[in-house]
Structure 1
């Protein structure tokens, strides 16, 4: 059996399938990380997606190679980390169960919760704006998919004003540390 890259493992998955598949995966950013416990999917025909109006300078990474990061600033304050899937599709990493580099994450965040919500997660991991477009198979960013798909919670996306009704938010069933509980 030959080893496959993260990019090969996610090839062909649409944003919703990728969002589901990332639950339970390990995410490490420069020595800090843990298990992905919450995601949200965004697609090109989705009015809440940054790619809805086509490629721009800001969203160019969304139209780049799959398995790369799309990093953007939310509300002009917080960085948000996404995994690019097919062209114009991305999955927002909303929450992480912190497991690696806890002292480092604590020094960055100062207060708990460490990785509950995309802004806190990015701060705890030391995400940088120049991580935009980097591969998740590189030295700075790494994702390792779980061998088996865990039980999921499914709900509507949060923190957006358009297409809120889409059930494209996924979480690890029973997980503590989600950005918001599932109904």
Structure 2
């Protein structure tokens, strides 16, 4: 269980965040940390690899999103294991079933990378591959980074979809990502707010 001093710190952070009209994102791994963060007002759980059924039920009940950051965990697991930490290595073994169960429970998933935890030259779309490998349909995986992320940020109808009135933030790739999700690793065309910033033929 969390020690009292840590609980008080979480409460203070949550209170200041909410008073500032910001969303509280909690980097949490263990069940007690996740549950306490949610009850303190967290709107998203980052990482969360140690969550259990109680966590998932509470997340669904309170409409809390999960940002799994699977690739970064796998990226650091072996090195940390050799250095004496077994946690990330253990998570690589449990994450497939955890992810499937979270989807079954109806936990909302928003795309997150924790970029910087792995090399900046690595594609930031690697997590899509895991999502599909662990049971999501390609369109569901892509929606974690579009309409799901927009909902989390309360930017519905502005970002994450191509509709009248939304910001014209669009990318294009050469292949159909619904058939080959790795196509998203090679963005050929970028429009931001209606202005083309990158165009490769």
Greater fraction of residues in strand: 1
Provide TM-score, normalisation by structure 1.
0.24
Greater fraction of residues in helix: 2
**Which structure has the higher relative contact order (CA within 8 Å, separation 6+)?**
1
Larger Rg: 2
